[in-house]
């Protein structure tokens, strides 16, 4: 299948071709282009060599690092790239320009993958990749993702979305803040101290910038001596996850992906936080059972679709990056890879490659 490379599919209609820049503003080219993690393993577990002319969907395509590797590994394959960040798609369209006859880039949410694929005339695919979270490229865009870069508290992947980090910081209750911080791995005592400091600070003046929030958190925690990470690290991560509904997007995105996979098709998911890995592990285990079960999760679970989808887990334990990769790509050090293959309902699943 040959397709024209497109940048952005908005509201169900294909739009501008590769290398276009919507609006009159010049593009901001950041100093760091995100280096994809565990590329060799992604290619292996997606089964690119088995499907050189297959159809693959990168459901969080970002700036196109993994997408480029997939297209090189499967020389006749078609790749659909989906992302909520239009600016990242602009970078991906340039990066993937040499593959323009085999790529379609879509501005959208991975939870909506079934509808988005149908708009491209595709009902099922041979492989799905999900690599959630932010990229270094997004950090450098001064959009509030990092406490190290002065910016407004935004943190939206999709700039058309109304809710921002500033809205959450200045409006949610003390208990909601505590729960949000604990979900991101902050200890209860620190979570309560940060939440209390935020509530007290915003009562005097709105908290609007990364500098303000980082200073409030640092004062609330008052770390003694050298610290491995900045005291605001987990709080900023918690905010980003909340703004972009990342936990919900991951669960629903995986469920949607399993429904667009052909029998024999594979899904690969990379995670960087324990809450993400737990979601992937539980989903793969649930979908590998002969009798579908409801899945407990940190948010209201979606019901399993009885008898519709079953998978064979390919990674009983998550794969980790090699020491060599961590040396050259520090951002990969916390990465975990899990993979599964869709099977016919009558096939007894087993954990193997």
- Count CB atoms within 10 A of the CB of residue 32: 11
Question: Residue 135 has what pLDDT?
Answer: 84
Question: Residue 174 has what pLDDT?
Answer: 97
Q: Which of 215, 242, 269 is the last residue of a domain?
A: 242
Q: Which of 218, 242, 266 is the last residue of a domain?
A: 242
Question: Residue 5 has what pLDDT?
Answer: 41
Question: Residue 346 has what pLDDT?
Answer: 55
Task: Let me know: does 301 contact 315? Beta carbons within 8 Å.
Answer: no
Give the mean pLDDT of 9-27: 35
Backbone angles phi, psi at 124, to 5 degrees: -150, 160
- Which residue would you say has higher pLDDT here, 225 or 59? 59
Rounded Cα distance, 254 and 71, in Å? 22
Which of 32-36, 73-77, 260-264 shows the lowest per-residue confidence on average (mean pLDDT)?
A: 32-36
Question: Residue 309 has what pLDDT?
Answer: 82
Q: Taking CA 57 as the corner, what is the angle to CA 54 and CA 58, rounded to the nearest 5 degrees? A: 135
Give the mean pLDDT of 156-181: 96
Q: Assess whether 128 and 261 both reside in one domain.
A: yes
Helices (H), 77-112: 86-95
Res 306 pLDDT > 50: no
Question: Residue 185 has what pLDDT?
Answer: 85
Q: Taking CA 282 as the corner, what is the angle to CA 290 and CA 305, rounded to the nearest 5 degrees? A: 50
Both structure tokens of 333 = 């050090």
Q: Assess whether 124 and 256 both reside in one domain.
A: yes
pTM of the full predicted structure?
0.85
Among 151, 131, 129, smallest CA distance to 139 is for 151
pLDDT digits (tens, 9 = 90+) for 260-278: 999 999 999 999 998 899 9
Q: Assess whether 109 and 25 both reside in one domain.
A: yes
Question: Residue 133 has what pLDDT?
Answer: 87
Q: Assess whether 116 and 171 both reside in one domain.
A: no
Give the mean pLDDT of 123-131: 97
Is 161 within the bounds of a domain? no
Res 66 pLDDT > 60: yes
- Count CB atoms within 10 A of the CB of residue 351: 13
pLDDT interval class at 344 (50, 70, 90): confident
Res 35 pLDDT > 90: no
Res 235 pLDDT > 70: yes
Res 206 pLDDT > 50: yes
Q: Assess whether 224 and 197 both reside in one domain.
A: yes
Which residues touch 164 (CB under 8 Å, ≥6 apart)? Answer: 144, 152, 153, 154, 155, 156, 243
Q: Assess whether 43 and 124 both reside in one domain.
A: yes
Question: Residue 61 has what pLDDT?
Answer: 97
Which of 68-82, 129-143, 185-199, 218-232 shows the lowest per-residue confidence on average (mean pLDDT)?
A: 218-232
pLDDT interval class at 227 (50, 70, 90): low
Token pair 């869709």 is found at 342
Q: Assess whether 81 and 20 both reside in one domain.
A: yes
Both structure tokens of 21 = 């820049």
Q: Assess whether 290 and 226 both reside in one domain.
A: no
Helix axes 86-95, 65-73, angle to 10 degrees: 40
Which of 231-245, 282-296, 308-322, 326-340 shows the lowest per-residue confidence on average (mean pLDDT)?
A: 282-296
Q: Assess whether 20 and 120 both reside in one domain.
A: yes
Which of 120-129, 197-206, 221-230 shows the lowest per-residue confidence on average (mean pLDDT)?
A: 221-230
Q: Assess whether 229 and 268 both reside in one domain.
A: no
Question: Residue 31 has what pLDDT?
Answer: 42
For the chain, the straight-line distance linking the first and the last C-alpha, in angstroms and rounded, comes to 28
* Structural domain for 177, as ranges: 146-153+166-242
- CATH assignment at residue 232: 1.10.150.170
Q: Assess whether 192 and 307 both reside in one domain.
A: no
């Amino acid at each position: 299948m040959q397709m024209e490379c497109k940048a952005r599919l908005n509201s169900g209609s294909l739009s501008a071709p590769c290398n276009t820049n919507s609006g009159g503003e010049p593009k901001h080219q950041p100093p760091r282009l995100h280096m994809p993690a565990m590329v060799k393993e992604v290619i292996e577990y997606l089964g690119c060599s088995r499907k050189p002319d297959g159809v693959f969907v990168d459901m969080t395509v970002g700036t196109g690092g993994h997408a480029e590797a997939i297209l090189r590994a499967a020389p006749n394959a078609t790749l659909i790239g989906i992302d909520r960040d239009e600016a990242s798609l602009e970078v991906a369209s340039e990066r993937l320009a040499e593959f323009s006859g085999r790529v379609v880039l879509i501005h959208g949410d991975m939870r909506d993958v079934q509808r988005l694929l149908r708009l491209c005339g595709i009902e099922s695919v041979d492989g799905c990749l999900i690599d959630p979270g932010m990229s270094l490229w997004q950090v450098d865009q001064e959009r509030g993702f990092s406490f190290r870069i002065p910016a407004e508290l935004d943190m939206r992947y999709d700039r058309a979305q109304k809710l921002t980090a500033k809205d959450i910081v200045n409006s949610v209750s003390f208990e909601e803040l505590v729960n949000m911080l604990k979900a991101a791995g902050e200890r209860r005592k620190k979570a309560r101290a940060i939440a209390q400091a935020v509530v007290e600070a915003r009562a005097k003046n709105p908290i609007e910038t990364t500098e303000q929030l980082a200073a409030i958190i640092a004062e609330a925690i008052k770390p003694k001596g050298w610290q491995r990470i900045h005291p605001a690290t987990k709080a900023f991560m918690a905010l980003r996850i909340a703004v972009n509904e990342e936990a919900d997007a991951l669960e629903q995105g995986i469920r949607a992906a399993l429904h667009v996979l052909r029998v024999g098709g594979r899904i690969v998911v990379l995670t960087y936080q324990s809450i993400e890995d737990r979601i992937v592990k539980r989903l793969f285990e649930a979908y590998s059972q002969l009798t579908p079960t409801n899945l407990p999760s940190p948010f209201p679970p979606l019901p399993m679709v009885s008898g519709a989808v079953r998978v064979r887990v390919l990674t009983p334990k998550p794969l980790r990056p090699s020491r060599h990769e961590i040396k050259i790509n520090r951002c990969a050090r916390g990465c975990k890879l899990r993979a599964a293959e869709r099977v016919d309902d009558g096939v007894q699943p087993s954990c193997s490659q």
